[in-house]
Every structure is written in structure tokens, then in C-alpha cells.
Structure 1
């Protein structure tokens, strides 16, 4: 009985994949209804991924719109040989969401000197202020020495406050891989900061 259920699920998944491919075919012909159908069939998963990465409703909604706008204008870039339509949509969404996350982080870094001013009080001595600035620079330098993947995972964990499971879901990496990268990144950061 369980084998029959598993076969039915596989056949159902195959039918859904074929349906989504048919929507791409329609979009290639300029059929707006095909885009609407694709949107209705997939938007829940696309939005969930965007929100898991960005944690802001407005940003997630923007990314979803950008994803489907890209599909409308560049559906010809979909290659069935490389994966499913849903996989392609999620990859497009993830890429755009991570770009938005990097943009947010850069905006935050640009404003860091003002943030540092907020940490300094009238009672602080010049040596205290200098020490704070040096620690800030040392942390930035240590983060800069991490491999891009590890730096990104550290950012998701500590700047975005995401759990290991959330990071795995957002990045498509296995949970064990996320934990391993974070553990090694933190070990490297600790060594770099001890030297500094």
C-alpha cells in the first residue's frame, strides 16, 4: 500500500512539473494567462524563500515581483535539462534576495561611523574611544579574511539572526554543511581576533 502511495506521489509531482513547463511554453508565446497560472501555482514557495532570507515583508514582495518579471521577459533562459521550473524560480528568487541582503548590509556598513558615534558617551576617555575603534576595525578585517560563503553564512546567522535550519533552507545547503562552515568560520575569526 505504501509503495502505491509513493508511486502516486511521484506521478503527481511529475504531472505538476509538466504543468509548470506548459506555463513556461505559454509565456514564451506571450500568453499572460500562462504567467498568471505559473504565479498562482508557485508564489507561495517563492515568497516563503524570499521572506526566509530577507525577514521583511516589503523586501520579500519586491523580490517576488522581480522574479516573475524576469520570468516574463526571459523565459527562454529556462533549461529543462538543468532542473524543474520550480527549482529555476527558487534559484532566481534566492539570487535576487541575496543581492538585496548584500545591498542592505552595504548600506548598514556605510552608516557604521554614525553607529560608532552612538556608542561613545561623554564620559569615555580618548583611550576608550580608540580601543572601541580598533576592535571594530579588527572585527571587520577578520570578517574580510573569511571565504565569501562562510562570510555570508556568518552574516545570516549573526546579522539576520537566522537559525541553522533557516540558513540551510534559505541557501539550499545541507544542515550539516551549514554547521560545519559556521564552526570553522568562528574558529578562524577567533584566531584572527586573538592575533589582532
Structure 2
């Protein structure tokens, strides 16, 4: 027998993505979990196609769902579907990650090139300095012994003319003359104008 006041209960339709977003905006964790289960595979698929790296894709997917949780109140159903809104967030996050990764690689490459050039320049400078030092040493050997002594003390020892004169036990004028004459001969030998 059928009672007239009892009607058959129609099953409730499952909530739409839009319904779930509205509940997430109110802080409903169960709705968030249901939304996550419903859309995470599509979000991860989109992110994976853009980012390509599986572990980075997982990180970006987590960031997308964090954005969905924190920005759910911004969703406007009049402007589009919830799935489209979520996928736009996912695409932006994925592109940002690719750009950040590329910028990091570019920075690393520039730094590597700079370090290589600096090490190359250091080697080149060292070789050039060594060759020049050998050239000067050979030119010094062509001077008289008194000129060599005076120049070595003044330029390699860092002594003043007065100190050179005291060390060699000669008058200051003589020390200056030996240094000046020796330098003129060195300039001639080395071809310095």
C-alpha cells in the first residue's frame, strides 16, 4: 500500500565544481578534498605538459591548489566555469615556473661564462706578466753591475734614492745617476718610448 503523503525521494545531484568552489570559499575542507579529487588529474596533466619535469609539476600542482584554497572567494560563476578558472591558475603557475627555471639556467650560464673568462684572463695575465718579467730580467743583465744594483734596490726593493745611496755607500747624486742611466738603457733595450 502506498501512502499518499510520502513521495519517493529523488537522489541529490552531485555538487558541481562551482558549488564546491563556493563551499571552499567558506572554508569547507571536505568540499576542497572533493574538488581536489575531481580536478587534480586535469590540473596535473596541464601543468605536466607545460613544465615537463614530473617533480616540479607536482610542486606546481600543489601551489595551484593552495591558490584555489586561498582565492576561492574571488571566483565569479558569472564570468566562467570553475574548471576554466582553476586551469587558468594552473597554466599561469606552470608558465611562471618555466620562466623562473629558464632565468635560473640563464643566470647560471652567465655566471659560468664569467668565471671561465675570469680564470682565462687570470692565466693570460699571469703568462703575460711572467714573459714580461723575463724580458725585463734579460734587459737588466745588459746593464753595468753598479746600475743593476741601484735599479734592483730602487724598483724591486722599494728603496728611495737616499736609501739606495746609503745601502751602496755612495753619494745620493751617484745613486740617482746610476738609476737614471740604467733606466735609459732599459728603455732602449725594451723598446719603450
TM-score, normalised relative to structure 2 = 0.50
Greater RCO, 1 or 2 (C-alpha within 8 Å, sep 6+): 1
Rg larger for: 2
TM-score, normalised relative to structure 1 = 0.49
